[in-house]
Amino acid sequence: MKTLMKNGDWAVLAAGAVLVAWLFGALWGGGAANKVIIRAGGKLFAEVSLNRNRIFTVPGPIGVSIVTIQDHRVRVARDPGPRQYCVKQGWLSRAGEAAICLPNQVTVTLAGAKRLYDSLNY
């Protein structure tokens, strides 16, 4: 092993490892969320940090949705909508993730350091 790897080879290997680690951080880790945005009927209901555990009761046209923030994650714990899509989505923790309770017009969105797009069209 020692004769097969020269000093420069170790340097190249180390530089490669650093590059790979950096790529993981830059391309995968950019989604750390730090803020929760809750909207009701299109209007801002609350914009709070993800760091504090809280429970929000959000009123909508057909009832009350309950949004829970816990351990840097957020979920819709209860919703009066018939299909429960936003509840079934479970815990959200990455920037750009969203839960939308359409019948009750409540949305929960996670935001990170920089704003992400949902989709782009050309």
Partner 1 sequence: MTHSTINIATTPEDHHIAKLAALAIGLSLIDAAIPSPLPGVKPGLANIVTLLVLLRYGFNAAAWVSLLRVIAGSLLLGTFLTPTFAMSLCGAAASLLTLRFASLLPQRWFGPVSLSIFAAFAHMTGQITLAWLWLIPHAGIAYFIPVLSAAALLFGMVNGLAAAKWLASETETSDVSAPLASSP
Interface contacts to partner 1, rule CB under 8 A: 1, 3-9, 12-13, 16-17, 19-20, 23-24, 27-28, 120
- Select 95 or 101, whichever has its Cβ closest to partner 1: 95
Q: Residue 26 CB, nearest distance to partner 1 (Å)?
A: 8
Q: Residue 13 CB, nearest distance to partner 1 (Å)?
A: 6
- Select 32 or 102, whichever has its Cβ closest to partner 1: 32
Buried/exposed 11-43: b ≥16 CB within 10 Å, e otherwise: eeeeeeeeeeeeeeeeeeeeeebeebbbbbeee
Tell me the β-bridge partners of 65. 58
